[in-house]
Amino acid sequence: MAKFLNAIAVLGVLLPFTQAQSSFIDDCTTFNSNLYTKANWAAGLGSVLSSNVNPSGGGVLNFEIPVGTRNGGEIVSKAQYSYGQVEAQFKVPNLPGVISSIFMYQGTSTSDEIDVEVYLNQGKWEIAFTIYRLGVKEWSHGYFPTWDPSAGYNDYMIDYQEAAISFYVNGALEAQFHTPSQQPTHAMNIQLNTWFPAWLNGAAASSTQFMQVNQISYTQS
């Protein structure tokens, strides 16, 4: 996510971010404007637009990629969160060149950041786990699922602790980083998005596609 630092840095100036530690569960029945704001920025091959993030009314928050575009959507928590478990259940679009993510991000060019990114690249699905400390990439690990992340909802969790950062997919530990001297130490915003990075060189959507989220939660440690 550090690819669009400047845009998010501007967003951070505009939004009233405050630090918080309280747990929450969002069932995505509506867009919870008390928890999040919708982002607008241009980077990569397109933009994320607030108009592309909307609830379905049936317990699903849709992040739309409109037909003929390389545009997506993003939500950013109004508060910042420290040690605990950040988790979301979502289904990604079956569209090469798109990254769908849940991540924690402090919001500046010298920022702490923890990413879970799901994408289809050259016919192969990958889930990338990445950690930045003060804007420097300290670690990254790729997990190649044998299943299709676009076929249904899957659970992705960041377990952010002082001693280690662990990454779970559908309840299974898939990666862990335990070098405290290289780990983030700041509270960060919780963000979810779907967008077109330049390095994946994805084509515009031939039909309208969605990243669909049916639960987001944070459990304080």
d(CA 214, CA 154): 10
CA proximity to 8, closest of 217, 196, 191, 218: 191
Instruction: Return the SS3 of 13.
Output: helix
Could you tell me the two tokens for 221? 């440690």
Distances (CA, A) of 166 to 100, 113, 148, 158, 175: 19, 14, 22, 6, 6
Beta strands in the chain (DSSP E): 18-19, 24-26, 36-38, 41-43, 46-48, 53-55, 61-65, 73-81, 84-91, 99-105, 113-121, 124-133, 136-143, 154-160, 165-169, 172-177, 188-195, 209-220
Q: Which sign does the torsion angle of CA 170, 138, 45, 42 carry?
A: positive
Ordered structural domains, the chain, with CATH: 2-220 (2.60.120.200)
d(CA 120, CA 202): 10
Residue 58 pLDDT: 87
Whether the pTM exceeds 0.95: the reply is no
Contacts of residue 199, defined as CB under 8 A and 6 or more positions apart, other chains included, come to none
Residue 66 pLDDT: 98
Task: Render each residue's pLDDT in the chain as its tens digit; 221 residues.
Answer: 543 433 443 343 334 444 556 999 999 999 999 999 999 999 899 999 999 999 998 899 999 999 999 999 999 999 999 999 999 999 999 999 999 999 999 988 889 999 999 999 999 999 999 999 999 999 999 999 999 999 999 999 999 999 999 999 999 999 999 999 999 999 999 999 999 999 999 999 999 999 999 999 999 99
Residue 8 pLDDT: 42
pLDDT, tens digit, for every residue of 123-158? 999 999 999 999 999 999 999 999 999 999 999 999
